[in-house]
Structure 1
Amino acid sequence: MSDRSTGSRAGWFPKFRPARDPARSKIGIVTDSSACLSGPWLEYPDFTVLSIPVIVDDVIHQDDPQALLMGLAMGQAVRTSRPSPGHFIHAYRQLAAARCEKIISVHMSASLSGTYESARLAAGEVDVPVTVVDSRTVALALGFAVRKMLSRRAAGAGFEELVDIARAAEDNQVFFAVPSLEQLRRGGRISALSGVLGSLLSVKPILSISAGTIQAVEKPRTFPRALARIVALARDAAETAQTDLDVGVMHFGALEEAEEISEQLKDLSDRPVVLEDLPAVLAAHTGIGVVAACIAPNYPQPAEGT
């Protein structure tokens, strides 16, 4: 699915530009399928997205939203599994074979998935230096950071700047609402909310990612109210940032609601609102009907080639 501005399938995508300094070492970038990347972003050179498997009734699927949608609708058992260290080793060695001299591997919050741990274990098994970063976030909050890394690398950014961008992913804010907390409860992803879980089950809470874990932000009693509050919270976050922004909206099985929120947030940035399907690895835990908004401050970077 390509980036889309509301009412148009055209999206913002920077032109690829080679690094100014041909002597600069090649830097490989690795992330995982939770980052909500699609279209031309997947075509960057020396860039790998590792799929996080989704298991529906003991059948393994790789990024298959239709299989997930059917499984959830039928009430089948759904769970996810981290990529093995072997998959990371293979990816890192492929980048090394492509003459990457360093690799940055940035992944969804280690508190939500074992993906980071698999990457960390694999990094010690390859000859090329790999810096593994726990983004402490997920979805487009991670995806916007990776987009920025790819764009800045193409413009000639150095290794340390790219690592700083990866580590700043947790500054991107994401707010989401689900019609039901049942999938999150089944997957153990709201254990941090156990003290208030009983009261949350009777409302339609707005959740966010803070310090790498899912946190309750507000507890509206209806889903339409929750969607309205997501818009308000996103606008508040944009105002607080006081800088240029990337804005994104995600959903799984709630396109109409996501498009409406996109329309309401389109004035926050000079670039189109990014509208994405939530990856299967995340939708497996949120269930059908989830809607999310992401605000990513686009703070100025050093001049190209510095």
Structure 2
Amino acid sequence: MPRVALVTDSTASLPDDVAAAYDVTVVPLQVVIGAEAFDEGTPGATSERVAAALREYRPVSTSRPAPALMLETYEALAADGAEQIVSVHISGEMSGTHESAQVAARKASVPVLTVDSRQVGVATGYAVLAAAEVLAAGGSAEKAAAAARSRAEASASLFYVDTLEYLRRGGRVGAAAALLGGALAVKPLLRIHEGSVASLERVRTSGRALARLEELAVEAAGEHAAVDVCVAHLASPERAEALQAKLADRLADPLQGREVWCGELGAVLGAHVGPGMLAVCVAPRLPTA
């Protein structure tokens, strides 16, 4: 069986120890604060710094990895003995990262299978882990890529934002939608649908929105025998930890002893949703062969 390497990008939100344990190579996106650009995960591109810049109305934007960086990554893996590569990335509707991977794949010295997860955040990360588990069991690159697509498609990414303004600034929702949300003083509940941010519900207060987010996560777990669950936030740790505890209790059966991950959203995704964001990803585990 050819040796297969696994690549993703920093928006997949995999903890460093998890990426290392599964031998996943992570390519950083960049955060641009004012006139300075920083790789995600470095001291200049922390979630705290992004949240502070957004509150201060300083310009914050993000940038995909260039095809040259992706190719450099692939060639380094090939030089280290990889004969094939599976490269799993954030939704192509939300970022040009997958496009960079495709461009680099055409020039790589070994075959590269690129996967557009059509997801964001840890939903992409869980897709990567599904691919890693297939490879660890001796499966092919093609089966690993298929597992990543299947798990991403089955996952639910649900989130609450205090305001749609940051998504509007980054072009992730239209100006009309953002204006409507602000004019009605509603608290938006959103989801990732077909690779893009979509409106799910509008709730009058933040308290009701967070309670509804909990219910929607429980509904998303549904009748699945086994799920992984992650709670993410930007500058809202108390609310995230409260939701983590509630979901750990209510989803104890499908979690099967696994913990509910909880952590702060990375700087790149945080730049587009703003302080106060709270998200839940529910990712059904794929049946084992």
TM-score, normalised to structure 1's length? 0.86
Q: How many residue pairs end up in the alignment?
A: 276
Q: Name 1:229's counterpart in structure 2.
A: 212
Among the aligned pairs, what percent are the same residue? 39
CA contact (8 A) 1:52 1:82 kept: yes
1:43, distance to aligned residue in structure 2 (A): 1.2
Please give the secondary structure, in 1, of the residue aligned with 2:243.
Answer: helix
Q: Name 2:164's counterpart in structure 1.
A: 181
Please give the secondary structure, in 2, of the residue aligned with 1:136.
Answer: coil
Q: Name 1:210's counterpart in structure 2.
A: 193
- The 2-side partners of 1:86 and 1:212 are apart by 25
- Output the amino acid matched with 1:215: A
1:42, distance to aligned residue in structure 2 (A): 2.4
Structure 2: give runs of 5+ residues left out of the alignment: none
- The 1-side partners of 2:19 and 2:11 are apart by 13
2:9 paired residue among 17, 27, 32: 32
Q: Structure 2 matches for 1:196-275, cutoff 5 A?
A: 196-201=177-182, 202-239=185-222, 241-267=223-249, 268=251, 269-270=255-256, 271-275=258-262
- Output the amino acid matched with 2:32: I
Q: Structure 2 matches for 1:78-157, cutoff 5 A?
A: 78-157=60-139
- The 2-side partners of 1:196 and 1:46 are apart by 41
Please give the secondary structure, in 2, of the residue aligned with 1:219.
Answer: strand
1:45, distance to aligned residue in structure 2 (A): 6.4
TM-score, normalised to structure 2's length? 0.91
- The 2-side partners of 1:277 and 1:36 are apart by 9
- The 2-side partners of 1:229 and 1:70 are apart by 28
CA contact (8 A) 2:134 2:147 kept: no
1:73, distance to aligned residue in structure 2 (A): 2.7
CA contact (8 A) 1:252 1:290 kept: yes
CA contact (8 A) 2:94 2:172 kept: yes
Please give the secondary structure, in 2, of the residue aligned with 1:180.
Answer: coil
CA contact (8 A) 2:5 2:86 kept: yes
- Output the amino acid matched with 2:155: N
CA contact (8 A) 1:112 1:213 kept: yes
- Output the amino acid matched with 2:284: P
- 1:1-38: CA deviations, max 9, x gaps? xxxxxxxxxxxxxxxxxxxxxxx211111111111111
Structure 1: give runs of 5+ residues left out of the alignment: 1-23
- The 2-side partners of 1:90 and 1:179 are apart by 39
- The 2-side partners of 1:35 and 1:88 are apart by 16
Q: Name 2:277's counterpart in structure 1.
A: 290
RMSD: 1.5
- The 2-side partners of 1:243 and 1:50 are apart by 33
- The 1-side partners of 2:195 and 2:272 are apart by 16
- 1:233-287: CA deviations, max 9, x gaps? 0001111x42211011001111110011111111311211011211111000001
